[in-house]
């Protein structure tokens, strides 16, 4: 396999499971060095570390940090260590895959539930992007990518806080695409189809959601993390440089039916 990204790094926020981990594997397979920031319990770490060792076995550098993405001091510490590890190399891709949101139904949500969810799943994209830019750690042609969902434009039960976060994420991405463009940065959202991940399973009624998505899909299939990771890889390629400010459906056509 061609290692076309061997001189670059990807910084993945939320890369220990699901779409983030699948994307890490895909980028590593093509030579991208990785810095993964995640938030997991001690009980989960043994399994996650095994996944990380498999990525290191691909021959890339991998830094991992089990920390809070919303803590400014910890963000600064991560970026300082990453800068040291990179040397003269730079970040080709910042991938936002944070799935830390409140799934209470209305009217039980409180303002703090919204604020925490929007902060983690939306505003954190901007905070990390701006800090990386100020430190001049982006490559001259860099890609900022994030994962949105149908909740960004439609209502779903138990999804109000996450839906608000996804709408914020899409809006922030459009602004980054406009205002960071002079710095050589492209920003896009991937609207992934319904994917059977641990995050999805936390949504009440997820089994019905999975079945409904399968029925709507032209291929009668669910989206897989690998399907989404393939598009992350494509958007990191030189040929994708003219895609900017887009919300790209990656669902096998589910959205058309």
DSSP per position, 97-146: -------PPTTS--HHHHHHHHIIIIIHHHHHHHHHHHTT-EEEEEEEEE
For position 20, what pLDDT does the model report? 98
pTM of the model: 0.97
Please list the pLDDT of the chain residue by residue as tens digits (257 residues). 778 999 999 999 999 999 999 999 999 999 999 999 999 999 999 999 999 999 999 999 999 999 999 999 999 999 999 999 999 999 999 999 999 999 999 999 999 999 999 999 999 999 999 999 999 999 999 999 999 999 999 998 999 999 999 999 999 999 999 999 999 999 999 999 999 988 888 888 889 889 999 999 999 999 999 999 999 999 999 999 999 999 999 999 999 98
Q: Which two tokens stand for residue 99?
A: 């799935």
Classify the C-alpha dihedral 59-46-22-188 as positive or negative.
negative
Q: Which two tokens stand for residue 14?
A: 């939320």
Residues 6+ apart with CB under 8 A from 105: 157, 158, 160, 204
For position 206, what pLDDT does the model report? 87
Work out the end-to-end distance of the chain between its first and last CA atoms, rounded to an integer number of angstroms. Answer: 36
Alpha helices (H) in the chain, listed in sequence order: 18-29, 42-56, 72-86, 111-118, 124-134, 160-179, 198-201, 206-216, 225-236
pLDDT digits (tens, 9 = 90+) for 110-145: 999 999 999 999 999 999 999 999 999 999 999 999
For position 201, what pLDDT does the model report? 86
d(CA 26, CA 4): 12
Nearest to 93 by CA among 148, 30, 27, 147: 27
Strand partners, 195: 223
For position 171, what pLDDT does the model report? 98
For position 204, what pLDDT does the model report? 85
For position 140, what pLDDT does the model report? 98
For position 57, what pLDDT does the model report? 98
pLDDT digits (tens, 9 = 90+) for 160-175: 999 999 999 999 999 9
Instruction: Enumerate long-range contacts of 208-215, CB under 8 Å, 24 or more apart.
Output: 213/251, 213/254
């Amino acid at each position: 396999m061609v290692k076309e990204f061997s001189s670059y790094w990807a910084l993945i926020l939320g890369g220990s499971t699901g779409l983030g981990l699948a994307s890490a594997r895909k980028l590593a397979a093509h030579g991208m060095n990785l810095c993964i920031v995640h938030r997991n319990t001690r009980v989960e770490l043994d399994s996650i570390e095994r996944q990380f060792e498999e990525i290191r076995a691909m021959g890339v550098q991998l830094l991992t940090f089990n920390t809070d993405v919303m803590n400014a001091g910890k963000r600064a510490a991560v970026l300082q260590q990453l800068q040291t590890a990179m040397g003269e190399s730079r970040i080709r891709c910042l991938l936002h895959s944070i799935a830390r949101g409140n799934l209470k139904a209305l009217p039980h949500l409180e303002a703090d539930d919204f604020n925490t969810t929007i902060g983690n799943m939306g505003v954190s994209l901007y905070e990390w992007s701006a800090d990386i830019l100020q430190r001049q750690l982006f490559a001259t042609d860099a890609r900022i990518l994030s994962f949105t969902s149908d909740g960004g434009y439609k209502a779903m039960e138990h999804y109000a806080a996450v839906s608000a976060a996804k709408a914020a994420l899409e809006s922030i991405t459009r602004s980054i695409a406009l205002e960071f463009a002079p710095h050589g940065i492209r920003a896009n959202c991937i609207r992934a189809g319904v994917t059977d991940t641990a995050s999805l399973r936390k949504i009440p009624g997820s089994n019905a959601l999975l079945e409904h998505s399968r029925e709507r899909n032209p291929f009668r299939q669910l989206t897989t993390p690998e399907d989404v990771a393939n598009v992350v890889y494509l958007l990191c390629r030189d040929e994708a440089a003219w895609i900017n400010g887009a919300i790209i459906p990656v669902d096998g056509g589910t959205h058309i039916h």
